[in-house]
Structure 1
Amino acid sequence: MFEENKEDFRKWLIEDKKLSSRVAGDVLSRCKRLNKTILESIDLSISSPESYLTSLKEIKDYSRHGKQSAKTQYALDATLIAAMKKYCEYRNPHTFQNYPNAYSIRGYKRSS
């Protein structure tokens, strides 16, 4: 699904969210990374609030295990989570506000 939606998603980012073409491309690249490398499927990840929360944990684990500093970890997971949130808003415009945020992960501890 993501592959079929990516050009419409880019257009939505530029026209509706008023992002520059370059920033929209960055968001799209992060979503591609999520879809290919980190998550089983970005579309499955945003299909329900529960799967979204699970995906937030997977993103945090991914950034925690591959980077050296806490600052780098935070930057990576923040940008990936922001991209997934935008895609969720695009695909679920009427319900995305009911989805959890990164602070919903209770007991999650970042390694230093």
Structure 2
Amino acid sequence: MNRVLLIALALSSASCRAGEELPGPCKDASRPVESIAPVVPAMTEMQVRGSVVATVVVEEDGRVTNPVITGAQLEGLDRGRVDNAAYERAALIAVVKWRFPPVPSRCTRKVTFDFQRLD
């Protein structure tokens, strides 16, 4: 049976746009101490490969808050319509359950979820 495999969780700092109330980018590149993979609906798991990017706020205690999808590049593999919303929703639900090591002050970080269908 084909399955979508979460093949990478790339972490990098996020830049802030002028006028936003978001904190600045995280200074350290620490890995999460707890991470949850997104779960996509079974009927959509065969149809794409690509990535979804979320920008999150890491609170001082390491909790993740304020997730926002900032990018998605998903390619349809089965010639059907790609349900981007299902993948984006799955990424948001998963990333709010993540935990990072404590930080000196709130900061923003980008989290990239890469999906690839396995045959």
TM-score of the aligned structures, taking structure 1 as reference length: 0.30
Greater Rg, structure 1 or structure 2?
Answer: 2
TM-score of the aligned structures, taking structure 2 as reference length: 0.28
Task: Judging by fraction of residues, say which structure has more strand.
Answer: 2
Higher relative contact order (CA 8 A, sep 6+): 2
